[in-house]
Amino acid sequence: MSQVDKQLDDIRAEIEQEVPNEISITEVTYEGPELVVYTRDPKTFASNGDLIRRLASKLRKRITVRPDPSELSEPDDARATIEGIIPEDAGVTDLDFHHDTGEVVVEAQKPGMVIGRHGSTLREITQEVGWTPEVVRTPPIESATVNNVRNFLKQERDERRDILERIGRQIHREEMSDDEWVRITTLGCCREVGRAAFILSTPETRVLIDCGDKPGAEDEVPYLQVPEALGSGPSSLDAVVLTHAHLDHSAFIPLLFKYGYDGPIYCTEPTRDLMGLLTLDYLDVAAKEGRAPPYESEMVREAIKHCIPLEYGDVTDIAPDIKLTLHNSGHILGSAIAHFHIGDGLYNVAFSGDIHYDDTRLFNGAVNEFPRVETLVLESTYGGRNDYQTDQADSERKLTEVIRDTVERDGKVLIPAFAVGRSQEIMLVLEEAMRNGDIPEVPVHLDGMIWEATAIHTTYPEYLRDDLRDRIFHDDENPFLADQFNHIDGGEDERQDVADGGPCIILSTSGMVEGGPIMSWLRHVGGQDDGTMVFVGYQAQGTLGRRIQNGWDEIPINDGGGRADTLSLNMDVETVDGFSGHADRQGLENFVRTMNPRPEKVLCVHGDESSTQDLSSALYHEFNMRTFAPKNLETFRFV
Ligand SMILES: [Zn+2]
């Protein structure tokens, strides 16, 4: 008998001792980080409201109770009963029964009403029909990505369960080593922006944190070939943790599966969906630019299949000696700070991912309270001594001013924007400004992936700022459903109609004017001299966006028929800073200043060489802590 089986036997004996005699336990098993208990008496289990919580705290594990398949009522009968129990206002759109696990997935417009007070409605469902309900929200705006991911996971349910069982046994294996040490190796994003990747290792475990590309330098990938990472084979990695879906953190996650990795990816649910959207688009762009894609779309599906979604604040065993907790980082939808608790109180490390310290319209500011942290690995994108951004209120005022002036002279406003994050922030500014009469009500056309990304945002309101979340819960106040927003889905004809029409605002990808529908908008409206092009995001060196910002008005452009042509840009060009998803220098310092507890060591990463060094030296002088601006391929030993 293997050690894990023996452990499960012991746990089963302990559970049987704890539960009332009339409850019979048929199987106890691990699925990923969770302990799953099968019972012939799911109804009795559910009627003992406190039982699961008591077991979880006694065993110090996350517990799911499932009915033994023999105890399930027929789906047709169960359906009628469940529909009778859930209030009609909950807006149930789908019930999906899974016989192998005894789960029924309830998709509803208002999940809270399906759950009931302290889970009372869920317990009532189990008591009546035996099935274990799992609740998901019906996206208020239909999202092809969310649909595809959910359908795919449904299809792959059996294989996924096998994967989770295997991972579960891996996590709960016996510790082999008595040695104690903790190291971090930097595989990328040190003294540079892009290709984020780190290895956290102990004698027992190796965890990869992020695995991204470097924008504008396609051949510079993270140093995955070193022995600490994949150099000694794909099975030497225990787990991958993804802080957020931006490609400079996620682009090469699917590549790991091509190399033979077969373990878990821990991230939030929105990060999983956005990673799917962005990596598939990444393959698309590579193909269009004639580059060989580093992996096939099949590998994106493998990655999604291996995702274990965590909610902010869930403390999760990911190895015998490591617990992971994700916390809101305020940067984009689902973005997280990854906190690792190593050993039994041995050491604590937090990886910031990308952070925004202050609240924005979309997100609450980054969390900086932890039970313990000895070392912080901190992003430094705007860590340079002069990297101060305009106050967001001033930026919003300037943006509305530019729009008002343009619309008053009957012109169109063209805003290149990134699909995820900045676009939704701008949409919220525009919606409020129109509602308050600060700018005239004109149509706002959304092109490229912006609509799809917005739909994903509205699927996960609990990841948005409190007051925005509340407005989305009440459909009539959902700002993203405002009448003026129009999804461009009719292609060139629709764009031509817009170009021929009256004043309007156009938000379109790509954010740095490097391909995408923005190129087509430049052809349609770039020549109109009453219009304004407004930059609201960072324009990297060498991009067309940066050149236009610097005054280029003769733009080389593909005429659509494959011939190169030149376009005269007659629109005014304006730049409005201050809508960044990153903390500026002040925000980064504030994050560390108010951090509780304050870390002993800070590694400044994910910034240009001077930014990381500036930030490192400022934190050292201000807070008297040990700080570093590491290079790639350095290893730090902490214990
Ligand atoms: Zn990011």
CA 244 to centroid of ligand 1, rounded, Å:
7
Q: Ligand 1: distance of its center to the CA of 142 in Å?
A: 25
457, 485 Cβ separation under 8 angstroms = no
Q: What is the 3-state secondary structure (H, E, C) of 16-85?
A: HHHCCCCCCEEEEEEECCEEEEEECCHHHHHHCCCHHHHHHHHHCCEEEEEECHHHCCCHHHHHHHHHHH
Single-letter amino acid, residue 477: E
Give the per-residue pLDDT at 176: 85
Q: For residue 38, how far is its CA from the centre of ligand 1 (angstroms)?
A: 41
Question: Are the C-beta atoms of 287 and 293 separated by less than 8 Å?
Answer: yes
Residue 90: alpha-carbon gap to chain centroid: 27
Contacts of 174 by beta carbon, 8 Å cutoff, 6+ apart: 3, 4, 7, 320
579 CA → ligand 1 middle, Å: 14
Distance from the CA of 276 to the center of ligand 1, in angstroms?
15
CA atoms 603, 605, 607, 610: torsion sign:
positive
Sign of the alpha-carbon torsion through 480, 481, 485, 489: positive
- What type of residue is 308? I
Mind listing the pLDDT tens digit for each residue in 284-312?
Answer: 988 888 889 999 999 999 999 999 999 99
Tokens encoding 216: 């504008």
Cα–Cα distances in angstroms (integers) from residue 77 to residues 83, 128, 365, 490, in the given order:
10, 11, 46, 44
Rounded to whole angstroms, how far apart are CA atoms 307 and 334?
14
Distance CA 11, CA 9 (A): 5
Q: φ and ψ at 229, to 5 degrees?
A: -100, -105
How many angstroms separate the alpha carbon of residue 275 from the centre of ligand 1? 12
CA of 464 to the centre of ligand 1 (A): 16
CA of 422 to the centre of ligand 1 (A): 11
To 10 degrees, what angle do helices 297-305 and 157-171 make? 60
Residue 357 CA, ligand 1 centroid: distance in Å: 14
Q: How close is the Cα of 581 to the center of ligand 1, in Å?
A: 8
**Structure-token pair, residue 205:** 């475990």
- The pLDDT assigned to 560 comes to 56
Kindly give the distance from the C-alpha atom of residue 246 to the centroid of ligand 1, in angstroms, as a whole number.
5
**Could you give the CA distance from residue 307 to residue 237 in angstroms, rounded to a whole number?**
15
- Quote the ligand 1 centre to 33 CA distance (angstroms): 27
Contacts of 358 (CB under 8 A, 6+ apart): 330, 365, 392, 583, 587
On whether the CB atoms of residues 581 and 421 are closer than 8 A, the answer is: yes
C-alpha to C-alpha distance for 599 and 595, rounded to whole angstroms? 8
Nearest to 318 by CA among 267, 252, 260, 255: 267
pLDDT of residue 562: 61
What is the spatial distance between Cα 295 and Cα 274, in angstroms, rounded to a whole number?
Answer: 18
Distance in Å, CA 247 to ligand 1 centroid: 8
Q: How far is the CA of 354 from the centre of ligand 1 (A)?
A: 5
Nearest Cα to 204, choosing from 231, 238, 228? Answer: 238
- Ligand 1 centroid to 32 CA: how many Å? 27
Cα(421) to centroid(ligand 1), Å:
10
Q: Look up residue 168 and give its two tokens.
A: 């579960």
Q: Nearest CA to 455 among 93, 113, 138, 105?
A: 138
| Measured distance CA(220)–CA(535) in Å, rounded | 28
Cis-peptide into 297, omega within 30 deg: no
Kindly give the parts of the chain with pLDDT less than 50: none
Residue 232: per-residue pLDDT: 86
Rounded to the nearest angstrom, the distance between the alpha carbon of 351 and the centre of ligand 1 is 13
Among 205, 237, 214, 221, which residue's Cα sits nearest to residue 306?
Answer: 237
Q: Is the dihedral of CA 456, 461, 465, 471 positive or negative?
A: positive
Residue 143 Cα to ligand 1 middle (Å): 22
Statement: the pTM of the whole predicted model exceeds 0.85:
yes
**How many A from CA of 248 to the centre of ligand 1?**
7
Measured in Å, residue 520 CA sits from the centre of ligand 1 at 27
Q: What is the 359 CA–ligand 1 centroid distance (Å)? A: 16
User: What spacing in Å lies between the alpha carbon of 608 and ligand 1's midpoint?
Assistant: 15
Residues 376, 338 contacting (CB under 8 angstroms): no
Chain-centre distance of CA 113, in angstroms? 26
**Gap from CA of 169 to ligand 1 centroid (Å):** 33
Angle made by CA atoms 528, 532, 536, in degrees to the nearest 5: 145
pLDDT in tens, 188-246: 999 998 899 999 999 999 999 999 998 778 789 999 999 989 988 888 899 999 999 99
Q: Do residues 86 and 106 lie in contact, with contact meaning Cβ atoms separated by under 8 Å? A: yes
Ligand 1 centroid from CA 355, angstroms: 8
Handedness of CA 521, 525, 527, 531 (dihedral sign): negative
pLDDT of residue 475: 64
The CA 53 to ligand 1 mean position distance, Å, reads 36
Distance CA(340)–CA(217), nearest Å, equals 31
526 CA → ligand 1 middle, Å: 30
- What stretch of H or E contains 209? strand 206-209
CA of 274 to the centre of ligand 1 (A): 12
Ligand 1 center to 502 CA (angstroms)? 36
Q: How many helices (H) and strands (E) does the chain have?
A: 21, 28
**Strand-by-strand arrangement of the 197-201 sheet:** 307-309, 265-267, 239-241, 206-209, 197-201, 183-188, 635-637
What separation in Å is there between the alpha carbon of 379 and the centre of ligand 1? 10
CA distances from 321 to 4, 165, 207, 522 (A): 15, 19, 11, 55
**586 alpha carbon – ligand 1 mean position (Å):** 18
Cα 208 to ligand 1 centroid, rounded to whole Å: 17
Region of 405 on the Ramachandran plot (φ > 0 left; ψ -120 to 50 alpha; else beta)? alpha
Ligand 1 centroid, distance to 245 Cα (angstroms): 7
Q: Is 475 helix (H, G, I), strand (E, B) or coil?
A: helix
Q: Is the peptide bond before 597 cis (omega within 30 degrees of 0)?
A: yes
Tokens representing residue 99 in the block: 């016989």
pLDDT of residue 561: 60
CA of 417 to the centre of ligand 1 (A): 15
The CA R_g of the chain, rounded to the nearest whole Å, is: 26
What is residue 552's predicted lDDT score, i.e. its pLDDT?
A: 92
- Residue 238: which of 33, 432, 42 has the closest Cα? 33
Say how far apart CA 338 and CA 340 lie, in whole Å: 7
Q: Which two tokens stand for residue 47?
A: 């009627």
